[in-house]
Amino acid sequence: MSLLTNVMDHSLDDGYAEAAARKKAAGAEGMPKTVRAKLGLAAGLVLAALVVTVGAAQARVSAPVVAKEREELVDRIQRETAAADELENTVDGLRDDVSARQREALKDDGGSDQSELVGILAGAVEVHGPGVKLVVNDSKDASQGGDGDPRETSGFSDTGRVRDRDMQRVVNGLWQSGAEAVSINGQRLTALSAIRAAGDAILVDNKPLAPPYMVLAVGDGQRLSTRFQDSSDGLYLHALQENFGIRTSISAESDITVPAAPSVIVRTAEPSTEKGTS
């Protein structure tokens, strides 16, 4: 207790108190006493004021220049954006023109059955008739998380989302079951179409699609539906529904319409006339 009492009564060390007393007695505190010290202090204050004044003046002079440069930069960005939009519109127009010419290249003047079949198989023309409507959707409690594909790797919780490989199997199963033309959400599929993933989105020919995924397939409606459901890909889709909550529905339709592909690549081949060498 005596130690605590001593600390409370002598909060300032005796040495510090003695040094402060000597400094006060010598007149070393407060404003400078000599003329030289006063002049030094005044010069320091004048220099500090001069620096602040010069800085403020430079900032005021440079402010209009900075504002002008910023305005010029904004105008340049707006001009370049408008030019890019115009170029994009030109590209879209040229792409549509090329697609139209490609479709015309797949037709002939006589309108023969062969040319019509080529147009259907290439996706160059719109197709309608009996077929199947298949809707595939994420589960009701689908989440955005997940560290891996639960249908390939064990130990991960399923996100309940439809994957690109799921749609690949659905489309391939419909083709194998006798479909003559297939589309997903209005996007026509051809022999050169690709179904890929970008993050959580499914891309069909580089165009993102959003669930639910409505697949239309032209063919012998009831027979196509039965053959698909009995195929390995149809059973795979049923397993997704049972095990992961993926929602599916399939129905045979009397008349459905599958649009033409937005872009058709025309390729021709000719038999080689060169003889092989032994």
- Write down the residue that tokens 């479909």 correspond to: 179
> Is the confidence at residue 268, as pLDDT, over 90?
no
- Write down the residue that tokens 């040495």 correspond to: 15
pTM: 0.55
Q: Which pLDDT band holds residue 48 (cuts at 50, 70, 90)?
A: confident
- Which positions ≥6 away from 171 have C-beta within 8 Å? 182, 184, 189, 195, 215
CA atoms within 13 A on the CB side of 58: 6
Quick: pLDDT tens for 4-43: 666 666 655 666 667 767 766 665 555 556 767 767 777 8
Distance CA 81, CA 87 (A): 10
User: What is residue 3's predicted lDDT score, i.e. its pLDDT?
Assistant: 60
> Is the confidence at residue 194, as pLDDT, over 50?
yes
